[in-house]
Amino acid sequence: MTKMLSFDNVELYYDHVYALKGVSIDLNEGETVALIGANGAGKSSILRAITGLRKIASGSITYLGERLDGRPAAEIVRRGIAMVPEGRRVFPLMSVKDNLLMGAFTRTDRADIARTLESVLARFPRLRERYHQQASTLSGGEQQMMVIGRALMAKPKLLLLDEPSLGIAPKLVQDIARAIVAISRDEKVSVLLVEQNSRMALSISNRAYALSTGQIVLEGMSKELLTDDRVKAAYLGGDI
């Protein structure tokens, strides 16, 4: 496997308080890797460091063999990294169509943008049905589909997902989980998934890291972690 992303002993602070303490993680091309842990464990801080939204204090971030840390956020997007932020962050007064097209802001190939848009609408038929509606009229699950679709409009090589199941009805959580699996498989997109819903995250990922207070406390193959007694007790609420 070709290594796509590597964190090497990364430290990150918020106002002199540790958010990440010597974190090291890897993600290979074609993999879905999950980051699990409680709120405030440092999962989202990893995504913010990758996307240039937070400057790391030490360590390094390497993407496809080149240093990523210190580069501006817009350049990071152009290199093929797209993030779906926690809380969806839609443009509420804009239509579904215009929200999706915002994801293609770094692209100029109109014909290919149109093909990508059609692919997104085929993947999420609900968005086609609501194509001209304001984003504010969509349900939480539909908005999540839209922001995932918006990220795909950038044609990323690496998709970062920050709590995609948060505040979503259980049935739509299953739909979104299936969509993540299909996107990785069909679009050949690598995925780094941040989730408090550890059961869902472990069920659709290849490998996983468990974080606590800014440090990696467990790592391994997701199937094995699902049956690990320590993971069951700390992250899955007991036996499956």
Structure confidence at residue 137 (pLDDT): 95
Whether the full predicted model's pTM is greater than 0.85, yes or no, is yes
Neighbours of 226 (CB within 10 A): 18
User: Which portions of the chain are predicted below pLDDT 70?
Assistant: 87-88, 237-240
Q: Could you report the per-residue pLDDT of 187-229, keeping only the tens digit for each?
A: 899 999 999 889 999 999 999 999 999 999 999 999 999 988 8
How buried is residue 91: exposed, middle or buried, by Cβ count under 10 Å (0-12/13-18/19+)? Answer: middle
CATH at 171: 3.40.50.300
- Cα–Cα distance measured from residue 146 to residue 144, given in angstroms and rounded to the nearest whole number: 5
Residue 188 lies in a domain: yes
Give pLDDT, residue 46: 96
Residue 115 domain-assigned? no
Instruction: Say how far apart CA 145 and CA 143 lie, in whole Å.
Output: 5
Q: How high is the pLDDT of residue 234?
A: 80
230 within domain boundaries: yes
Residue 209 lies in a domain: yes
Residue 75 lies in a domain: yes
Identify whether 82 is part of a domain. Answer: yes
What is the DSSP secondary structure assignment for residue 237, as one 8-state letter? S
For residue 85, the model assigns a pLDDT of: 86
CA distances from 17 to 131, 224, 226 (A): 44, 33, 31
51 inside domain: yes
What pLDDT is recorded for position 237?
59
- The answer to whether residue 179 is domain-embedded is yes
186 vs 198: CA distance, rounded Å = 24
Question: The domain containing residue 18 runs over which residues?
Answer: 3-88+155-235
Domain count, the chain: 1
